[in-house]
Structure 1
Amino acid sequence: MDREQGRYELTLFEFSVSPTQPTGRSRGKSARKGERESPAPEYRGPNRELWSGHGRMPRWLQADQACGKSRDEFLIG
């Protein structure tokens, strides 16, 4: 932007950008691919296994549902 500003003698006002306005570029670790925060667990199994409710259903829950138990019985809180 400095190069264009010098060549055309433009100001930040003419660019419609403030010095503190975000440019759309991400900064920091949280925006990096593959470094997401894992979701909080929603279900707890009989042997204290945890499952967030995302992805494949764990075997312990599949087995308990096959025996007639409800998924709601394992909800945390």
Structure 2
Amino acid sequence: MKYNELLKQRDELDAQISEAKRAESVEAIDTVRRLIADYALTAKDCGFSDAKPKAMVTQSKRGPAPVKYRGPNGETWSGRGRAPGWIRAAEQIGGSRKTFMVTQEAA
């Protein structure tokens, strides 16, 4: 067989595979829905409600970031995420973030 003929056969097989997968997926979804209804299953019963995304689990294990900035009224900010209002206000009137930076000795 020639290379181009084999490629054409592969494309035809890929199309058949896609159609078979779609048809079987529809059947599988119908079966799952029927079983859920028949047995009055909940997401928790199926093990779905207690799962946390990995990013959330990893982030919560890290704990809070250390304080990098301290405001005039004792507010704190780690320097991560959106700058708090007291930093933005100070910068709008010409102040610098550096004036609120916590030194290593003070931290």
1:75 and 2:85 matched: no
Say yes or no: does 1:40 pair with 2:66: yes
**Which residue of 52, 58, 80 maps to 1:54?**
80
- More relative contact order in 1 or in 2 (CA 8 Å, sep 6+)? 1
Long gaps (5+) in structure 1: 1-31
**Scaled by the length of structure 1, what TM-score is found?**
0.56
Paired with 2:67 and 2:78, the residues of 1 have a C-alpha distance of 4
What is the identity percentage for the equivalent residue pairs of Structure 1 and Structure 2? 41
Give the match's secondary structure for 2:74: coil
Instruction: Give the secondary-structure state (helix, strand or coil) at the position aligned to 2:87.
Output: helix
Which one has the largest radius of gyration? 2
* Matching residue's letter, 1:64: A
Q: 2:99 corresponds to which letter in structure 1?
A: E
Q: What displacement does 1:65 show?
A: 0.5
Q: CA RMSD in A?
A: 1.4
Equivalent position amino acid for 2:79 in 1: G
The runs of at least 4 consecutive aligned structure 1 residues that moved more than 2 Å come to none
Counterpart amino acid of 2:98? D
**Distance in 1 between the 2:89 and 2:64 partners?**
25
Q: Which has the higher helix share?
A: 2
Q: Secondary structure at the match of 1:63?
A: helix
